[in-house]
Amino acid sequence: MHKTAAGAQNGVIRIEEGRPAPSPPPGLTLAEGLRQQLEAAIAAGHLEPGSRLDEQEIALRYGVSRTPVREAFRLLAASQLVELRGRQGAVVRSIGPHVLLEMFQVMAELEGLCARLAARRVPPTWGATIEPIHQRLVALVDGGDADAFYDVNQEFHEAIYEAARNGFLADQTRRLRNQVAAYRRRVTRMPNRMSDTIREHEAILRAILAHDPEAAHRAMRDHVALLGDNLLDFLAAFE
Amino acid sequence: MHKTAAGAQNGVIRIEEGRPAPSPPPGLTLAEGLRQQLEAAIAAGHLEPGSRLDEQEIALRYGVSRTPVREAFRLLAASQLVELRGRQGAVVRSIGPHVLLEMFQVMAELEGLCARLAARRVPPTWGATIEPIHQRLVALVDGGDADAFYDVNQEFHEAIYEAARNGFLADQTRRLRNQVAAYRRRVTRMPNRMSDTIREHEAILRAILAHDPEAAHRAMRDHVALLGDNLLDFLAAFE
DNA sequence: AAACTCATTATTGTATACATCATGCTGCCC
DNA sequence: GGGCAGCATGATGTATACAATAATGAGTTT
C-alpha cells in the first residue's frame, strides 16, 4: 500500500488494479512471493486444475511486470503444480484418476516409511506432543467443519514426519501431499471419512508408541491407500 | 557450429565465444535447451557441487541473453539440482553425507516399491527384455570401464521401472537417481562394487521372475541400501 | 454449405536497460 | 594497530521493448 502510486521508475503512471495488494516484498523477491500466493491459491482450489494462467493478467493483478510472473511459473513447475507447455502458456496441473491412483500408491509408501522410522525413533515423551493434536482432531469430527479437520489432520501427519527424523523424506512427502491437496480437500467431506480417519489414526499411534515399526508401516500405508480409494470413488461419482 | 555468425536479430554483431556451440533451439525453447545441457553437465560431474553459476558467464558461453539462463536456473531448481539463494546467485547443489544418507533411505524404498510392483505385474515375456541387459552388464565387470557399467546399470533399473507400470513412481525414482548421480558415479569404481552389483541384481531378477513381491522388494531395498553404505564409506575416506 | 488458406492478433520467448541489493575495499576513528 | 563506517563495484531482480510463434477469424473456393 505504501508504494502504490510511487512505483514510477519511468514516467508512466501505473494503474492500480483492484484489491489484491501489490505484493510488497517482505524481504524476499517478488517472484518468490508470487510463487507462494499462487501455490496457496491452487491448494485452496481457487485456481481450478486445468485452468490457464495468463502471464499478463496475473502481472496486472499483482502490479508487477511479466518477468517475476514467468519466474514464479517456473518455480511452480518445479513442484509440479503447473505445467509448462512450451510456447503455449502455463496451466494449473490437472491430474487424471489414473495418475492420481499412482500418486497415492507412492504416497502410501512414503508415509508408511515415515511411520516406520517414527516407530523406531520416537522418544518416550512424544506422546505428549501427538496426543493433543489427536484430541483436537477427535473434537472436530462432530462439528462437521471439513476445512478445520483437514488442517488439523495435516498437523497430525506433520508431527509424524518430524518424529521420523529424516528431513529429505519429510520434504518429499510434503511435496507429494501438496500436489494432491486440491483433490484431497473434497474427500474430507465424504460421509464417514472423518470418523474412519480417527480410527485409522489411533491404530497408527498405537503402533508407533509401541515401537512396532512394521505395524506402524502397515497401518499408515493402509490409511493412505484407503484415502486414495475414497478419492477415486468420489471422482467416479462425477463421471 | 553451423549457425555461428548468424544469430543477429538486432544489428549487433555477436562475439562468438569459445567452442561450446550457441545451442541451436531444436524446436524447443532456449531455456529448456540450456536446462538439459546444464543438467547433463552436472550429472557428469563437469560442474562440481558447490560451484557457483554465474548468469552472465553462462549467457556469454552459450551466446544467449541472461533471461533464458535465469529461467533455466529456475527449472533446474525444480529438480533440486541447483540451489537458488535469493539475491545471492545459484550454486550447484552440494549434498552433505547426512542428507545423502536420508536420500538413499528414500530411494531404497522407492526402488523397492518398483521391484515389488514389477514382481506382481511382469508378463512371462519380460525375461527376454531384461536378460540381454543383465548379460551386457556381466560382460562389463572385467573390462573395468566404470562409466559404461554405470550406464548399462541405469538401463537395468530403468527396465524395472517400466515393468512396474507406474509412471509417476518411475518419474520420482528417476528424479531422485538423477540428484545423486554426481556422487554415485564415483562409487562404481570401488573395489568389489561391480561384482557385488551383479550378484545383487541376480537376486532381484530371481525374485521378480518368480513373482515374489516381498522378496523382490527386500532384494532391491538391500541393493540400494548397500550402495548407499558404500557411498558413505567412500565419502568418509575423504574427510 | 463445408473446408481450406491466408492474414490478423494475441501471447509467449528473448534481449536489453535500469533499479536494488550484496560484497569488498578504503580510510577514518578509537 | 584493529575495527568499523561509508563508498565503490559487481551481481541479481525487475521492467520494458522487440521478435517469433500459435490461435483466430474472414474470405474464398469446391
- The sign of the CA dihedral A206, A207, A212, A213 is negative
pLDDT at B42: 87
- Rounded-to-integer distance, Cα B33 and Cα B26, Å: 8
Residue A147 confidence (pLDDT) above 60: yes
- Which residue approaches D20 most closely, CA to C1'? A87
pLDDT at A189: 84
Which pLDDT tens digit goes with each residue over A8-66? 333 333 334 444 545 556 667 889 999 999 999 988 888 888 889 999 999 999 999 99
Which pLDDT tens digit goes with each residue over B73-105? 998 988 888 999 878 889 999 888 899 999 999
- Residue B18: all three cell numbers together: 569459445
Q: Is the CB of B3 under 7 A from strand C?
A: no
Angle (CA) B196-B187-B233 rounded to 5° is 90
Residue B146 confidence (pLDDT) above 90: no
Comma-separated ranges of CATH 1.20.120.530 domains in chain A: 97-238
pLDDT at B92: 92
Interface of B with A (CB under 8 A): 28-29, 32, 67, 70-71, 74-75, 77-79, 86-87, 99, 102-103, 105-106, 109-110, 113, 166-169, 172
Residues ≥6 apart with Cβ < 8 Å to A167: B99, B102
pLDDT at B27: 62
For all residues of chain A together, what is the average pLDDT?
86
Q: How far apart are the first and last CA of chain A?
A: 45
Which residue spans within chain B are E strands per DSSP?
Answer: 52-53, 82-84, 90-92
pLDDT at A171: 93
Domain B97-238 has CATH 1.20.120.530: yes
Confidence of residue A6 (pLDDT cuts 50, 70, 90): very low
Confidence of residue A145 (pLDDT cuts 50, 70, 90): confident
pLDDT at B79: 82
Enumerate the residues of chain A whose CB falls inside 8 A of the CB of residue B85: none
pLDDT (mean) for B133-148: 90
Residue B6 confidence (pLDDT) above 90: no
Which pLDDT tens digit goes with each residue over B32-78? 889 999 988 888 888 888 889 999 999 999 899 999 999 999 989 88
**CATH of range A1-94; options 3.40.50.11540, 1.10.10.10, 3.40.50.150, 3.10.310.70:** 1.10.10.10
pLDDT at A214: 96
Residue of A nearest to B95 (CA): A168
Give the DSSP H/E element, type plus range, for residue A160.
helix A146-164
Q: Going edge to edge, which strands form the sheet with B90-92?
A: B52-53, B90-92, B82-84
Comma-separated ranges of CATH 1.10.10.10 domains in chain B: 1-94
Enumerate the residues of chain A whose CB falls inside 8 A of the CB of residue B169: 102, 105-106
pLDDT at A23: 53
Nucleotides of D under 7 A from a protein CB: 11-23
Residues ≥6 apart with Cβ < 8 Å to A170: A114, A161, A162, A164
pLDDT (mean) for B162-180: 94
- Residue B59: all three cell numbers together: 549467457
